[in-house]
Chain A
Amino acid sequence: MNLQDYLHDLSRIWPEILLSVTALLALVCDLLQRGKDPRVTGWVTAIGVLFTLGWICRDVGLADGSLVFGMIVHDRFAMFFKLLICAGTLVVTLLSLFFRGFQRDGIGEYYSILAIAAVGAMFMVSTNNLLLLFLALETLSISSYALAGFLKRDARSSEAALKYLVFGVLASGAMLYGFSLLYGYAGSLDLREIAAAIRTHLHVGEHGLSPAGIGCGIAVVLCLAGFGYKVAAFPFHFWSPDVYEGAPTPVTTFLAVVSKIASVGMILRFFGGIPHDGEGAAPLAAVIAALAACSMTFGNLGALMQQNAKRLLAYSSIAHSGYLLAGVAALVAPSAAAGLAHGATAGEAHGAATGLAHLAVGGITGGQAVAFYAAAYLLMNLGAFGVVIYLSNRFGTESIDGFAGLGWKAPVACGTLVLFLLSLTGIPPTVGFVGKWYLLQPIWSKGMHWLAVVLVLNSVISLFYYFRLARSLFLVDASKALASPRKHAFGTELTVVAVTLAVGVVWFGIKFEWLSDLVLSLRV
C-alpha cells in the first residue's frame, strides 16, 4: 500500500473530513463550555460548515469523475449535491442559532449531531456502493431521529422523534431486504452493475415479465419503499406532517430540505445508470410516475385544509417530492424514439417550447432537471421555513389564523415569505418557475404527457393554499392581529437570512444561465 495513494484519495473527500472534524470540535467545545452556552458551539459549527462550503466551491471545477477508496465517486454530480447539502446545513445551523426554543443550556450536542447528519448526507450522494449507501443513509436517519426529539420538554417533539424512528426503522428494514435481493440479482454492490441488472431484468418481453423480472421488480419496489420514506412520497408520507409539526422548526427545515435533497441525489445515483442508449426500464418508470402523480395530488389536496404553517409546508413538501419523482420517472423511462408505443415526437416538444424560446435548452435530461429543481427547492423552502421561525419567534404562533395581519407588523420578512410562496407555486420571475419548466421538458419529451398535465394542474391547486397563507398575512386588517411582538426574537438576524435567500430566489429566476450551465454539465 502506498502512502501517496492514500493522500490522493483523502484529498478527494476533504469536505466530508472537514465536516466530521467540525462535528467532533462541536462536541469538544460543548464539553469545554460544560454545556452552558450552546451558542458558542453553534457558531463553531457554523464556521466549520462555512469552511466546508468554501472547500466544495473550490473543488467543483476539479471534479474528474475518479473513483476514490473504491466506492466514492468524485464527480460534478456529487460536488453539486454536496454544495446544496452544505449550503442547506449552513442555513439550518444559523436558523438553529436564532431559534427561540434553542436558547437554553444543555443542547450543545445538537450541533454535533447535525454535522454528522450532514456527513451522512454527503456520502449518500457521492457513493456508488450499496453498502456505503445504506450506511450513509442510516447516518442521516439515526441522527435525524435524535434531532427530532431535541425539545425534550415538548411532548410533541418526543412524539415526533418516536414516530419518525418507528416508521423509519420499518422502511429501512424493507429497503435493506430489497438491497439484499438486488445484490443477489446483480452479483455486485456496484450501483452501475445493479442498474444494468435492473435494466436487463425489468424488460417486458412478449410473455410479460420473466420470473427473474418479477423478483427483481419486488426488490426494486422494496427499495422504493425506503427511498419513498426518506423523501416523504406517497404512500410512505404518513409520518411527515406529524413529524414536521412536532419537531423543532430548524430540525423540520433540515428534514424537509437537506435530508430530502440528499435522498433525491441518492435516488438519482441509484437509478441514474438505468437509461442507456435510449433504453430504460418502462415498468419502473410507470411505477415511479404513478407515485409521483399521487404524491403531488395527495400533498396538495392535504395542504388545502391545514391550519398550522408547519403542517402546510409539510404537505407542500410531499407535493414537491412528487415533482422531483416525476423527473426521476422521466430519467428511467425509455426514450420516446426507442419505445414506439409512445406517441411523443420531437416536433411536439419543440412546438411547446417556441413560446418561451429563451428557456428552451433542449436535451435536458430528467436527472439534470431534478438537480436544478433540487437547487430551487433548497432556496425557496429554506426561506419559507426561515420566515416561519421568524414569525414564531416574534409572535409565538405557527397557525395560519394567528398570522392574520402580521404582514404589516413585519413587512420585510413577510414580503420575502410571499416571494418564497410564489416560487413554490412556480410563478415567474422566480427560480421555482424555471425549475418547473425544466422538469416539464424531459417529462414531455419522454412521452409522459399525462404526468406533465398532472404536474401543471397541481401547481394550480397549490396556488390556493399558498395564497391563503399570503392573504392571512397581508389582506387581513392589521388591527385584527392577535399576536403581540416579543423581545429577544432575533428579528434582524432572521430577516437578513430570509432576504439573502429571497435575493437568491429572484436572481436565479432571472439570471439562471449560470445555474443551468452547471446543471447541464452533470452526467445524469
Chain B
Amino acid sequence: MESFSFWFFGGCTLIGSLLVALCPKLVHSAFSLVLALIGVAGLYWGLGADFLGGVQLLVYVGGITILFIYGIMLTPKGATKWSLGSLLFPGVIAVVPLCVMLHLAWKGLESVIKPVDAGVPQPTVDAIGRGFLNREEYLIPFELASLVLLAALVGSVYLARRKKES
C-alpha cells in the first residue's frame, strides 16, 4: 500500500512537472502544475505529514495556481514553439544536477541520512499547535511571522493604492 501510494503520487508529480515544462500553452502548464502539486501533497501524506499535505493542497493547489491562472488570463496570449535548439540549453541545465543528485542518492546519502522507523504516523496538527505556543520551541517564529505578514500587507496596500492627483 505504502509503495503503491509512493509510486502513484511520485508519478503524478513527475508527469505533472514534465507537462509544466513542455506544454506549449501557458494555461495547460498552469493546470499541469495542479497535478504536480497534488502529487507532492500525496507524498507528504505518505510520509505522515498530514498537516503539511493539507497546507500544500490549500495554499498551493487552491491559492497559488489560481493566482497563476489569473496572471495568465490578464497577460497577452501566445503559444511557445519548441525546437531542438531551444530545448538544448535548459535540458543540459536540468540534466546535470539531476545526474549529480541521482549519483548522490545511490551512493552517498544512505551513509549520511539514516532511515528512521517512525511507526504508525500520528496526527501532527496537535504537535504543531503546541509547538507554536511553546516557549522552548517555535513561539518566536510564530510571532515574527505576524510581523512579516503585517509588513507585506501594509507595503502591498501602499504600492497598489491609486495615486492621488495633485
The residues of A with any CB-CB pair to B shorter than 8 Å are 1, 5-6, 9, 13, 20, 23, 27, 69-72, 106, 109, 112-113, 116-117, 119-120, 123, 129, 131-132, 135-136, 138-139, 142-143, 145-147, 149-150, 152-153, 161, 184-185, 187, 201, 210-212, 214-215, 218
Known contacts A116-B151, A117-B151, A145-B155; A132 and B141 CB within 8 A of each other: yes
Q: How far apart are A238's CB and chain B's nearest CB, in angstroms? A: 19
B108 adjacent to A211 (CB under 8 Å)? yes
Given A69-B135, A69-B136, A69-B140, A161 and B148 touching (CB < 8 A)? no
Within 8 A of A (CB), among B123-166: 134-141, 144-145, 147-148, 150-152, 154-156, 158-159, 163-164
Q: Which B residues are in CB contact (< 8 Å) with A218? A: 100
A214 to B139, CA, bound (A): 35
| B144 & A71 in contact (Cβ 8 Å cutoff) | no
Known contacts A116-B151, A211-B107, A123 near B144 by CB under 8 Å:
yes
**B108 touching A215 by the CB < 8 A rule?**
yes
- With known contacts A69-B135, A131-B138, A132-B140, A214–B151 Cβ distance under 8 A: no
**Contact residue among B135, B140, B163 (Cβ-Cβ distance under 8 Å from A152):** B163
Q: Which of B5-13, B25-33, B46-54, B109-117 contacts A (4 or more CB under 8 A)?
A: B109-117
Specify the chain B residue showing the minimal Cβ separation from A106. B164
- The answer to whether A109 and B136 touch across the interface, beta carbons within 8 angstroms, is no
Contact, CB under 8 Å: A116 / B108: no
Tell me if A184 and B113 are in contact (CB < 8 A).
yes
Residue from A113, A149, A152 in contact with B154 in the complex, judged by beta carbons closer than 8 Å: A113
Establish whether residues B144 and A146, one from each chain, have CB atoms under 8 Å apart when the complex forms: no
Chain B residue total in the interface (Cβ 8 A)? 31
> Given A112-B154, A113-B155, A143-B155, are A20 and B147 also a contact pair (CB < 8 Å)?
yes
For A106, the chain B residues whose CB sits under 8 A away are 164
A138 interface neighbour in B137, B148, B150, Cβ under 8 Å: B148
- The answer to whether B135 and A9 have CB atoms under 8 Å apart is yes
**In whole Å, how far is A389's beta carbon from the nearest beta carbon of chain B?**
22
Query: Do B140 and A109 touch (CB < 8 A)?
Result: no
The 7 closest A-B pairs by CB, nearest first: A146-B155, A211-B108, A70-B136, A116-B151, A212-B112, A143-B151, A211-B107
**Interface of chain A, main secondary structure:** helix
**B72-117 CB contacts (< 8 Å) to partner A:** 100, 103-104, 107-109, 111-113
* Interface pair A70/B135, CB less than 8 Å apart: yes
Nearest opposing residue in chain B for A142, CB measure: B152
Instruction: Provide 27 A-B residue pairs closer than 8 Å at the C-beta atoms, listed in order of the A residue.
Output: A1-B134, A9-B135, A69-B139, A70-B137, A71-B141, A106-B164, A109-B154, A109-B158, A112-B151, A113-B151, A116-B147, A116-B148, A116-B151, A123-B144, A135-B145, A138-B148, A143-B151, A146-B151, A146-B154, A152-B163, A185-B112, A211-B107, A211-B108, A211-B111, A214-B100, A215-B104, A218-B100
Contact A142 B151, beta carbon cutoff 8 Å: yes
Contact A135 B154 (CB under 8 A): no
Q: Which of B42-71 contact A (CB under 8 A)?
A: none
**B149–chain A nearest beta-carbon distance, Å:** 9
A5 to B136, CA, bound (A): 10
- Which residue of B is nearest A71, CB measured? B140
Most buried by B among A23, A143, A150: A143
Residues of B contacting A214 in the complex (Cβ-Cβ under 8 angstroms): 100, 104, 108
Are B103 and A146 interface neighbours, CB within 8 A?
A: no
For B148, the chain A residues whose CB sits under 8 A away are 116, 120, 135, 138-139, 142
Q: Which residues of B contact A117 (CB under 8 A)?
A: 151
B residues sitting closer than 8 Å to A (CB atoms) are 100, 103-104, 107-109, 111-113, 134-141, 144-145, 147-148, 150-152, 154-156, 158-159, 163-164
Residue numbers in A under 8 Å from B163 (CB-CB): 152-153
Give chain A residues whose Cβ lies under 8 Å from the Cβ of B103.
Answer: 211
Per the bound structure, the CA–CA distance linking A145 and B158 in Å amounts to 12
Q: In the complex, what residues of B have CB within 8 A of residue A27's CB? A: 154
A178 to B146, CA, bound (A): 25
Complex Cα–Cα for A113 and B158 (A): 11
Min CB distance B96 to A, Å, is: 12
Q: How far is the CA of A13 from the CA of B158 in the complex (A)?
A: 30
A132 to B164, CA, bound (A): 39
Among the listed B134, B147, B156, which residue makes an inter-chain contact with A139, where contact means beta carbons less than 8 Å apart? Answer: B147
Measured between beta carbons, the chain A residues less than 8 angstroms from B112 are 184-185, 201, 212, 215
A197 to B, closest residue via Cβ: B112
> Of all chain A residues, which has the CB nearest B162?
A152
Chain A residues with CB under 8 A of B147: 20, 23, 116, 119-120, 139
Q: Which residues in B have their C-beta under 8 angstroms from that of A132?
A: 140-141, 144
What CA separation (Å) do A376 and B110 show in the bound complex?
A: 47
Q: Is the CB of B151 within 8 A of A139?
A: yes
B159 contact from A5, A152, A215, Cβ within 8 A = A152
A70 to B135, CA, bound (A): 7
**Least distance between A228 CB and chain B CB atoms (Å):** 19
Chain A proximity of B45: nearest CB distance (Å): 19
B144 touches A109 (CB 8 A): no
- Do A135 and B144 contact each other (CB < 8 Å), given the known contacts A27-B154, A117-B151, A215-B109? yes
Which chain B residues lie closer than 8 Å to A6 at the CB level? 135
Which B residues lie within 8 Å of A120 (CB)? 144, 147-148
Q: Chain A nearest CB: distance from B138 CB in Å?
A: 7
Q: A1-B135, A5-B135, A184-B113 are in contact. Are A139 and B144 (CB under 8 A)?
A: yes
Q: Look across to chain B and name the residue whose beta carbon is closest to the beta carbon of A200.
A: B112
Known A138-B148, A214-B104, A218-B100: A109·B155 in contact at CB below 8 Å: yes
Residues of B within 8 A of A211 (CB): 103-104, 107-109, 111
Give bound CA distance, A112 to B147, whole Å: 11
Contact A131 B141 (CB under 8 A): yes
> With a CB–CB cut-off of 8 A, which chain A residues contact B136?
69-70
List chain A residues, Cβ under 8 A from B139: 69
Q: A69-B140, A146-B159 are in contact. Are A116 and B150 (CB under 8 A)?
A: yes
Interfacial chain B residues near A72, Cβ < 8 Å: 140
Task: Give the CA-CA distance A329 to B23 in the complex, in Å.
Answer: 45
